[in-house]
Amino acid sequence: MKVIVIGCTHAGTAATIQIAKRHPDAEITVYERNDNISFLSCGIALHVGGVVRNAEELFYAHPDNLSELGVNTRMRHEVLAVDTERRTVTVRNLETGETLQDTYDKLVMTTGSWPVVPKLPGMELDHVMLCKNYAHAQAIIEKAALAERIAVVGAGYIGVELAEAFRQLNKRVTLFDNTPRVMYKYLDQAFTDIVEADMVEHGIELALGQTVQELRGKDGKVTGVVTTAGEYDADLVIMCIGFRPNTGLLQDQVKMLPNGAIIVDEYMRTSSPDVYAAGDSCAVRFNPTGEAAYIPLATNAVRMGTLVAMNLKEPRVTYKGTQGTSGIRIFDLNVASTGLTEQAAKDAGLAVRSTVVTDNDRPEFMPTYEQALLKLVYEAESGRLVGAQVLSKADLTQSVNTLSVCIQNRMTVEELGFVDFFFQPHYNKPWNLLNQAGLQAQADLEAWAARGGLNKIGWSAAADTA
């Protein structure tokens, strides 16, 4: 069985290692255009901020590891074309410029994503950077050393982490977003209010609810950012406004979402026979809605890559979907979210309700304790959990992993109220915060139903706060 893997970061590394281990008879060739594999982009901000000093620590695998497993490891090779009818790939050796053709029995498409590059005047200026891979990380660090005013465009988790890292280097930082709040997709306002206040207190200038229209420059180098609300000086601009799947090689050959994300079934098979895909190149099943969605995360990538290997010869193990669970530490706040925010659910026209509980993370008789904020979002009619968020100076982020399991298993808030969690004063209270939230949500739901629920009060996306 001849297997070709295109792209080798998280999905590709997971798929390749597992195929080599599970299918010793397979003849595997990996084509990767970079000279490295498995780079953890999630460490870029930590590296920029000086927490991770040695960038080499941000790789968990080396091309030699693949070669030792018997894999033909072709680094600095870019796949130029794929023909799924003839089962061929055309490849350029980026070192020599030579072009070659190869054939496969099974193709694994793990070409990932690339940052969205907006068509703005000034994007071509020096010191306007993207943030995705190892080369970007090195270039950002080099340029940031000389920069005084840094503009980070995009206040998703990557932009927020970078803004924090640049502040830790004592740079003047402005964070831009066209939405009115930071991390708009992950957190509702009660949470972003706290995060934003913390960021401002730490000296980050927030320029939210305004769209970047132009980058100004002088002598070929960026000097400022022009938005719908004003002009800002900047001598380094980092664009991190989102990602697009990098799937041009299979265009018109497999089914995709309109944004180009490859649609795979639960065994990671594309619509073309013997072509598999995993990671950021793919759409995933978003469990809160049951719909296909584009949620590029390393967690999805390693799971999907592993499943490719498990299902390569025959369909065996199914993908369980995702809640898009993510966590972030911003200065001294620990924040995590899973599933839909209330805002996202309402934007999608879902009839949901929500409950917020605030409590200390452990008993007040303990020498120290921290306030915690936990929100549940659930279907108004059934009480099924569809989302959750947590924020505290204490690290309660694992509770969102627990809630991710609850959402995946379609549990209701009432069921959550009675899950067996341990109690130990070092860690929590007799009623665990999750139990408390489940019980409170069920009480809220019953009170709302007694007032008439959906039938009497009806439901309106804009105005349902009663």
Ligand X SMILES: Cc1cc2nc3c(=O)[nH]c(=O)nc-3n(C[C@H](O)[C@H](O)[C@H](O)COP(=O)(O)OP(=O)(O)OC[C@H]3O[C@@H](n4cnc5c(N)ncnc54)[C@H](O)[C@@H]3O)c2cc1C
Catalytic residue among 8, 23, 42, 202: 42
CB of 88 to ligand X, least distance (A): 14
Q: Helices 433-450 and 398-408: crossing angle, nearest 10°?
A: 50
Q: How many CB atoms lie within 10 A of CB 445?
A: 22
Nearer Cβ to ligand X, position 191 or 378? 191
We find the least distance from the C-beta atom of residue 134 to ligand X, in angstroms, to be 9
Backbone angles phi, psi at 383, to 5 degrees: 80, 5
Residue 452 to residue 339: CA distance in whole angstroms: 27
Q: Is 202 a catalytic residue?
A: no
Least distance to ligand X from the beta carbon of 13, Å?
Answer: 7
Cα 177 vs. chain centroid, distance in angstroms? Answer: 17
Question: C-beta of 248: minimal distance to ligand X in Å?
Answer: 8
**Closest listed residue to residue 327, CA positions, set 257, 233, 397, 395:** 397
Residue 417 CB contacts under 8 Å (≥ 6 apart), including other chains: 435, 438, 439, 441, 442
240 vs 437 by CB, closer to ligand X: 240
Tokens of 268: 């990671």
Closest CA to 38 of 23, 18, 57, 19: 57
Between 280 and 464, name the residue whose CB sits nearer to ligand X. Answer: 280
Name, in order, each residue with C-beta under 8 angstroms of 429's C-beta and a sequence gap of 6 or more: 359, 360, 362, 363, 423, 436
Q: Please say if 131 is a catalytic residue.
A: no
Q: Which is nearer to ligand X, 20 or 79 (CB)?
A: 79
Nearest CB to ligand X, comparing residues 20 and 439 = 20
Identity of the residue, 306 or 341, whose beta carbon is nearer to ligand X in the bound complex: 306
Minimum gap (Å) between residue 176 Cβ and ligand X: 17
Nearest distance from C-beta of residue 300 to ligand X, angstroms: 7
- Work out whether strand 212-218 and strand 204-208 pair parallel, antiparallel, or are unpaired: unpaired
State the residues that interact with ligand X by CB under 6 A. 6-12, 31-34, 41-42, 44, 78-79, 110-113, 131-132, 158, 246, 249, 279-280, 296-299, 301
Q: Which of 330, 437 has the CB closer to ligand X?
A: 330
Long-range contacts from 343-350, C-beta under 8 angstroms, 24+ separation: 343/184, 343/188, 343/189, 344/185, 344/387, 345/288, 345/377, 345/386, 345/387, 346/461, 346/462, 346/464, 347/461, 348/289, 349/461, 350/289, 350/379, 350/386
Would you say 31 or 378 has its CB closer to ligand X? 31
Least separation, in Å, of the C-beta of 32 and ligand X?
5
Q: Are 346 and 352 in contact (CB under 8 A)?
A: yes
SS (H, E, C) 362-430: CCCCCCCCCEEEEEEEEECCCCEEEEEEEEECCCCCHHHHHHHHHHHCCCEHHHHHCCCCCCCCCCCCC
Torsion from C-alpha of 201, 204, 207, 211, nearest 10 degrees: -150
Amino acid of residue 234:
A
Q: Report, as residue numbers or ranges, the catalytic residues.
A: 10, 42
